[in-house]
Amino acid sequence: MNLTAKKLSTEKLSILRLKVQGDVLTAEISDGRVISIPIAWFKRLQNASEKDLLNFEISPSGYGIHWPSLDEDVSIKSFINP
């Protein structure tokens, strides 16, 4: 699969739900996959309090997640193409 095909398929996906538990972020993706990644991949999240970690917003398009109190953004690409 070439890079263009990967990019197109990622653009059609969205994050439906996010669960923050322990040291992982678990996202439910619109194609049915449930994917977990370590919080340690993101320095601002790694050092955040539980209260700040739970204060997130999924973008209306589902492309990314924003933590307003941490000024951190994580896109769907982090879950699909780490």
Q: What is the pLDDT along the chain (82 residues), one digit of tens a residue?
A: 444 444 446 668 999 999 999 999 999 999 999 999 999 999 999 999 999 999 999 999 999 999 999 999 999 999 997 5
Q: What does the pLDDT read at residue 81?
A: 79
Domains of the chain, first to last: 3-80 (3.30.2020.40)
Q: What does the pLDDT read at residue 1?
A: 45
Q: What does the pLDDT read at residue 4?
A: 45
Neighbours of 29 (CB within 10 A): 17
For the whole model, what pTM was predicted? 0.83
What is the separation, in whole angstroms, between the first and last Cα of the chain?
17
Q: What does the pLDDT read at residue 9?
A: 60
Residue 7 has, within 13 A of its CA and on its CB side, a CA count of: 3
Q: Which burial class, exposed, middle or buried, applies to 65 when counting CB atoms under 10 A from its CB (0-12, 13-18, 19+)? A: buried
List strands edge to edge, sheet with 15-21: 15-21, 24-29, 34-38
